[in-house]
Structure 1
Amino acid sequence: MASETRSPRLAVLIDADNASAKIVDGLFEEIAKIGEASVRRIYGDFSSPRSKPWADTLAKYAIVPQQQFAYTTGKNASDITLVIDAMDLLHSGRFDGFCLVSSDSDFTRLAARIREQGIDVFGFGEQKTPESFRQACRRFVYTENLRGGTASSKDADSMAAPKSLLPISAATPVIEKVITQMESEDGWVALGVVGTQLSNLVSDFDPRTYGCRKLSDLVRKTGAFEFEEQTKGGGSVRIRVKTAGGSHAKAKPPKAGQRDQAKS
């Protein structure tokens, strides 16, 4: 009997001082889309009232707290402990990816170092997270997109569009840039490939940031692209950029030699 293919093993490391416990449901639902959260650790001073919301959720998701008492004011030892644990886990060779949950730019070098080892890093933080940390991750998810319950909920409210963090128009130039970088004779490109390239080009690109659940919804709402649903090949969708006139030019103008032949 063939063995099942195991999901990627992930180490989830949470900075309690720079992440809200309100995201925990959405956080682990998002992580489940990536792989298996084999290690779940959270770092902070859980004797502090600030960390009580996290302390109340640890058992539900089997998160192991790493207590760090605040012996001095200002920076505490949580960040250092998280980094030490991350390096120990990295060198164990047991993990396919790391999930760093924090909005702190101090973890930029850690993310970069893990990726140098050929291991994926997935960041989770607020929209205010510095670009250096966001771009150091293979993918970065804004925690504002994870609040408000889980997508698996059967409540009608769960099917509502997520709250927009940026206007839809802000997504248009990013999508256009990806399409222009892809080789295509007639301008048509597969939507799925566009999605992959967007993730590679912009680590924090997410349709939910623009109030849409899916990339196809976002592309349609921009009004800047044409759609073509193919009947063959599983019904895949292709898109291309609209011209100023509202549609894409379907044929290129003939070359000079061709015009001369036509006249003769």
Structure 2
Amino acid sequence: MGTQHNVRLAVLIDADNAQSSIIRELLVEVSKYGVATVKRVYGDWTTPNLRGWKETLNQHALQPIQQFSYTSGKNATDCALIIDAMDLLHSGRVDGFCLVSSDSDFTRLATRIRESGLVVYGFGEQKTPPPFVVACDKFVYTEILRAATSPAPTAPVETAGSKQLESILKDAVTAAMRDDGWAPLSGVGALITKTNPDFDARNYGYAKLSGLMRAQAFLELKTVSSSEGIGAATLYVRFRDEKQSRASASSSGT
């Protein structure tokens, strides 16, 4: 598929289930995974509820795709997006898709794209049904994109001290652990995303996974510099022993 810098992504946005106010932050997020070579927004542009999109379309070179609602109760917009996605899939012009919607109707589309070996990034609100979330390789909640405009988010999407979070982190560290007990943080992160596509440190109020890990009393991190003195240092994580964990928890509570 090539490096991140030349991965071609199709960004397909369901205007009925996405907000124009977060598009700038969304496109910045997309740039972390590749280059948005296709940027389309689907909706019935004759309806009043999509008027707020006009300025956003012009600012970000988004192509509006008109789809009339022929029958009440039937979502023609979803159908148009799915048809275009399949055309792009078979054209070989892109390496992956960014599906922007909080609608579970795109669950099968995400699954079908992944069956063809292409990556799928999902973007939607916290209300997005779980089937669509887990059908994606990675799912980003748009609430954290809004929080990105603030340098220090004060309202995490999820609770950092939850038992579910502890279980997720422990399982991933255990799976990535080497014989010496240390696990490369990059490997831990990759394992977490495979089993929990919607996992993101920003959901818990941390900019990076390393920050979230350091906040856990049962974990400790270390940095290992490159032996040749070139390149970035590598972060490793392991479990603290019980005595260390109690001491860490006590110090953090003071």
TM-score normalised over the length of structure 2:
0.87
Deviates more, 1:69-78 or 1:6-15: 69-78
Contact kept, 8 Å, 2:139 with 2:198, in 1: the verdict is: yes
* CA deviation vs aligned residue, 1:190-210 (integer Å, no higher than 9, x gap): 112211222222111100000
Query: Which residue is 1:260 aligned to?
Result: none
Contact kept, 8 Å, 2:13 with 2:41, in 1: the verdict is: yes
* CA deviation vs aligned residue, 1:222-241 (integer Å, no higher than 9, x gap): 22211222345453221112
RMSD: 2.1
Contact kept, 8 Å, 1:99 with 1:122, in 2: the verdict is: yes
Query: Which residue is 1:29 aligned to?
Result: 28
Contact kept, 8 Å, 1:10 with 1:38, in 2: the verdict is: yes
Query: Which residue is 1:200 aligned to?
Result: 194
Query: Which residue is 1:121 aligned to?
Result: 120
Counterpart of 1:245, as a letter, is K
Q: Give the C-alpha shift of residue 140 in structure 1.
A: 0.7
1:204-219 matches, within 5 Å, as 204-219=198-213
Counterpart of 1:168, as a letter, is A
Distance change >3 Å, CA 18–CA 70, structure 1 → 2: same
Q: Give the C-alpha shift of residue 35 in structure 1.
A: 1.0
Q: Give the C-alpha shift of residue 169 in structure 1.
A: 1.5
CA distance in 2, matches of 1:39, 1:235: 35
Query: Which residue is 1:179 aligned to?
Result: 173
Query: Which residue is 1:168 aligned to?
Result: 160
TM-score normalised over the length of structure 1:
0.84
CA distance in 1, matches of 2:55, 2:74: 24
* CA deviation vs aligned residue, 1:149-202 (integer Å, no higher than 9, x gap): 65xxxxxxx422463000111322211110112242232111122112222221
Q: Give the C-alpha shift of residue 125 in structure 1.
A: 0.6
1:38-77 matches, within 5 Å, as 38-77=37-76
- The number of residue pairs the alignment matches comes to 238
Q: Give the C-alpha shift of residue 119 in structure 1.
A: 0.7
Query: Which residue is 1:112 aligned to?
Result: 111
Query: Which residue is 1:154 aligned to?
Result: none
| % identical aligned pairs | 48
Distance change >3 Å, CA 239–CA 183, structure 1 → 2: closer
Distance change >3 Å, CA 183–CA 229, structure 1 → 2: closer
User: For 1:42, what is the secondary structure of its paired residue?
Assistant: strand
CA distance in 2, matches of 1:45, 1:122: 24
Query: Which residue is 2:7 aligned to?
Result: 8
Distance change >3 Å, CA 148–CA 178, structure 1 → 2: closer
Contact kept, 8 Å, 2:40 with 2:65, in 1: the verdict is: yes
Distance change >3 Å, CA 207–CA 60, structure 1 → 2: same
Deviates more, 1:70-79 or 1:83-92: 70-79
Which entry has the higher C-alpha Rg, 1 or 2? 1
Unaligned runs of 5+ in 1: 151-157, 249-264
2:138 is the counterpart of 1:139: yes
Contact kept, 8 Å, 1:161 with 1:213, in 2: the verdict is: no
Contact kept, 8 Å, 2:107 with 2:131, in 1: the verdict is: yes
Query: Which residue is 2:249 aligned to?
Result: none
Distance change >3 Å, CA 191–CA 5, structure 1 → 2: closer
Contact kept, 8 Å, 2:176 with 2:187, in 1: the verdict is: no
